[in-house]
Structure 1
Amino acid sequence: MTTFYLVRHGKTELNIEERFQGGSIDAPLVEEGIFQAQQAGKYLSEIQFDLVAVSTQKRAVHTANYIVGENNFLHGATLKYFDGLREISFGEREGVKIDRSDEQTNYLRTNPALYNPSSFNGEELNDAVERAGAVLNQISDEHPDGTVLIVSHGALLIILMNYLLGKEKSKWREGGPLENTSISILERDSQTANYKLKSLNDISYQK
């Protein structure tokens, strides 16, 4: 059994401004985001991770560094960075103020089966879950009895988890949106390759 702790990055300037922050744009963590990451690190400090797998985007990298900095088993963890864990790309909408009256924005949030980002050159959700799912499957194959920390992004993580749990595409946003530095726990059975959700969007440690 591989146990994944999936963490969304800490709060950024673009989160506060409610702008699209996808796979081809970054903003630094704000002071609150740094504090969130440190709190998450303290909450997870007694867990010995066999691997820390991180999106190559700066907001995820910085969040991971704060979390790992609080861990009591630093000597046991290997950090690896994966492009496959980057956020969904929103194409020409990157950095643009989110308009909740927009049809495609609503589909993304409520019914991903109808989401079509072609008009703004965004990434197809199927492509996003396939690249990210391949990363988790690879890690699980390499660490069949391991405990792994994943630091990535909100939209990607919620659709990825629902995809791996076998839900139909219209339900890929169930349980979202994920809070900044929320912790979700997913297990993969090494024999059946099936995923099971143990915890979702936990921010109980935040003060």
Structure 2
Amino acid sequence: MTTFYFVRHGKTELNLSLRFQGGEIDSPLLPIGIEQAIQAGRYLSDVRFDLAAVSTQKRAMDTANYILKENKYLDGLTLRYHDKLREIKFGKREGAEIDHTDEQTSYLRQRPDLYDPSNFGGETIDSLVSRSTETIEKLSEEFPDGTILIVAHGVLLITLINSLIGKPKANWREGGPLANTSITIVEKTDQYRLRTFNDISYQTKIEEA
């Protein structure tokens, strides 16, 4: 059995300002985002990971570094960075303020099967799930009895997780959005099974700067 710990990155400046933060833009972790990552690391400090697979975007790499600094079992840990774990690309909307009345934004959040980003050059949901699933499948084959930390992004993780556990495309955003540095555990045997979802129970109150 392969056990995946999926963690969303810590809170960033663009998260705070409610702007699109996709696969072609980055924003620094806020002090609260750093503290979230440190708390997640302490919570997971006794988990012996065989591999940490991390998006190549800085907010995810920084989050992973803070998490792993707290871990007690770094000897023998493999750390890899994956372009295919980058966030969905929003094209011309990268960095723009989110308009919650926009039809495609509503589809992205509630009906991903209807989402069509062609007008602004964004990435499709099918592309996002295909590339992220390919990465997870390869890792489960490489580490059939392993424990793997995945640090990535909100849209990618919620659509990937819901797809892996067999939900139809219309429900791939169900249960989202994932909280910053939330932990979702999925076990892979002959199929994927959800063990823990969007867990931030470990977080103590953090004052926003």
Q: What is the TM-score of this pair, normalised by structure 2?
A: 0.97
Give distance in 2, aligned partners of 1:47 and 1:76: 13
Q: 1:199 is matched with which residue: 182, 187, 196?
A: 196
Aligned pairs for 1:102-181 (under 5 A) are 102-181=102-181
Give distance in 2, aligned partners of 1:77 and 1:178: 26
Asked if 1:186 is matched to 2:183, the reply is no
Give distance in 2, aligned partners of 1:118 and 1:165: 28
Aligned pairs for 1:26-45 (under 5 A) are 26-45=26-45
Structure 2: which amino acid aligns with 1:128?
L
Instruction: Give the Å deviation of 1:166.
Output: 1.5
Give distance in 1, aligned partners of 2:18 and 2:76: 37
Instruction: Give the Å deviation of 1:108.
Output: 0.5
What is the number of residues matched between the two proteins?
A: 204
Give distance in 1, aligned partners of 2:42 and 2:16: 24
The Cα offsets for residues 165-184 of structure 1, whole Å up to 9 and x where unpaired, read as 12111000011000000000
Query: Which portions of structure 1, spanning 4 or more consecutive aligned residues, are displaced by more than 6 angstroms?
Result: none
The Cα offsets for residues 139-179 of structure 1, whole Å up to 9 and x where unpaired, read as 00000000000000001000001111121110000110000
CA contact (8 A) 1:8 1:183 kept: yes
Structure 2: which amino acid aligns with 1:196?
R
The Cα offsets for residues 42-91 of structure 1, whole Å up to 9 and x where unpaired, read as 00000000000000000000000000000000113110000010000011
Aligned pairs for 1:50-65 (under 5 A) are 50-65=50-65
Structure 2 unpaired stretches of 5+: 205-209
Q: Secondary structure at the match of 1:200?
A: strand
Between 69-78 and 58-67, the greater mean CA deviation after superposition:
69-78
Give distance in 1, aligned partners of 2:134 and 2:26: 24
Instruction: Give the Å deviation of 1:136.
Output: 0.5
Q: What is the TM-score of this pair, normalised by structure 1?
A: 0.98
Structure 1: which amino acid aligns with 2:136?
L
- % same residue: 62
Give distance in 2, aligned partners of 1:19 and 1:67: 25
Structure 1 unpaired stretches of 5+: none
CA RMSD of aligned residues (A): 0.5
Q: Secondary structure at the match of 1:116?
A: coil
Q: Secondary structure at the match of 1:74?
A: coil
Give distance in 1, aligned partners of 2:87 and 2:199: 20
Aligned pairs for 1:84-103 (under 5 A) are 84-103=84-103
Look up the match of 2:74.
Answer: 74
The Cα offsets for residues 79-124 of structure 1, whole Å up to 9 and x where unpaired, read as 0000010000011100000000000000000111111000000001
Look up the match of 2:207.
Answer: none
Give distance in 1, aligned partners of 2:111 and 2:131: 21
